[in-house]
Structure 1
Amino acid sequence: MRKEASSGNFVAIDFETADYQRDSACAIGVIRVENDQIVDRSHFLIRPPRQKFQFTYIHGITWSDVKHHPTFAELWPNLQPKFAGSDFVAAHNANFDRSVLNACCQAAELDPMPLPFLCTVKLAREVWNIRPTKLPNVCEFLDIPLQHHQALSDAEACAKIVIAARQQ
């Protein structure tokens, strides 16, 4: 297993986006893990920079759901402390979530997140040789409950995948 997956505290995240632009986060789930225990669960709706929603059919979120919620820049002071003291950030298909986080930070003129990312797709392949490795497949293999494309559920599933791998 990768070094960062075998040590310390971590945060698992999942973004849902409104459109094809990476700065269009409309929801984030954040799970904080310390000593293989989930110690904090947070879910936030985010008002993206554009009102057009192309992915409502996937996650069920609409403009009317988020129009009175904070933008990413407004939410950041509440989000940033959740990452404090973490060794890494876990996400399923981490390249996507990292790119959304970086695009949202850039649009908000914030420094990018300095923490390394651990991809639970790659982790599941390395530890259990699971294929296919879509989140529902890995959760079924590990018997993890999942409400797919609900940001908090997806983030919690990622956290549980890392915890299971660390316990292997």
Structure 2
Amino acid sequence: MTTFVALDFKTADHGRDSACSVGLIRVEDDRIVQRVHYLIRPPRMHFRFTHIHGIRWQDVADQPGFDERWASIQPILREAAFLAAHNAAFDKGVLHACCDLYSIPRPSQPFVCTVQLARKTWNLRPTKLPNVCDYLGLQLEHHQALSDAEACARIVLAANQSLRQH
């Protein structure tokens, strides 16, 4: 199996460039080899989604912005064949918007969506992250970036194992 990174962003507001948290799980040879969570200071102080993820401006005001965090995030993505996320269009949009805001070249890896993967592999509906985790018996602290990212990594691993068995 190839190397991949599962990731999950939390945003402060409706702007895709408002990442306030990211969880990253690096998988090599079917094993999780790195778990990282970063708080990120978004470009605006206004938080609309604290009720979902619990992160407030006070939690991130002294944290590095995405441009400074990139030096720590980029090496985790290096040589990954793909990036995985649940509802990947959202996380891809956040990653690209944050890169664009700071004129950082976008990562070139394709995204694998674990919503689509779960539907294709197990014909699951509904496919919200808690539904897929319940089906697979995975632990989940929903809306915590590191837990959501690890669940995505484990969904990819379970789907690959399922495909190998058929």
Q: TM-score range by the shorter chain?
A: over 0.9
Cross-structure match for 2:143: 149
> For 1:125, what is the secondary structure of its paired residue?
helix
Compute the TM-score of the two structures, normalised by the length of structure 1: 0.96
User: CA separation in 2, counterparts of 1:47 and 1:29?
Assistant: 15
The alpha-carbon deviation at position 21 of structure 1 amounts to 0.2
State the AA in 2 paired with 1:22. R
User: CA separation in 2, counterparts of 1:94 and 1:55?
Assistant: 19
What are the equivalent positions in structure 2 for 1:22-101 lying under 5 Å apart?
22-101=16-95
The alpha-carbon deviation at position 67 of structure 1 amounts to 0.3
Deviations 1:2-54 (A, max 9, x none): xxxxx411000000000000000000000000011000000000000000000
Tell me, yes or no, if structure 1 residue 118 matches structure 2 residue 126.
no
User: CA separation in 1, counterparts of 2:32 and 2:141?
Assistant: 18
State the AA in 1 paired with 2:88. A
Q: How many residues align?
A: 162
Divergent runs of 4+, >6 A: none
The alpha-carbon deviation at position 85 of structure 1 amounts to 1.2
The alpha-carbon deviation at position 157 of structure 1 amounts to 0.1
> For 1:111, what is the secondary structure of its paired residue?
coil
User: Sequence identity, in percent?
Assistant: 59
* Aligned-residue CA RMSD (Å): 0.5
The alpha-carbon deviation at position 68 of structure 1 amounts to 0.4
Q: Structure 2 stretches of 5 or more lacking a match?
A: none
> For 1:38, what is the secondary structure of its paired residue?
strand
User: CA separation in 1, counterparts of 2:30 and 2:12?
Assistant: 32
State the AA in 1 paired with 2:129. L
Cross-structure match for 1:3: none
Deviations 1:74-111 (A, max 9, x none): 00011000011110000000000000000000001101
The alpha-carbon deviation at position 113 of structure 1 amounts to 1.2
> For 1:167, what is the secondary structure of its paired residue?
helix
State the AA in 2 paired with 1:51. M
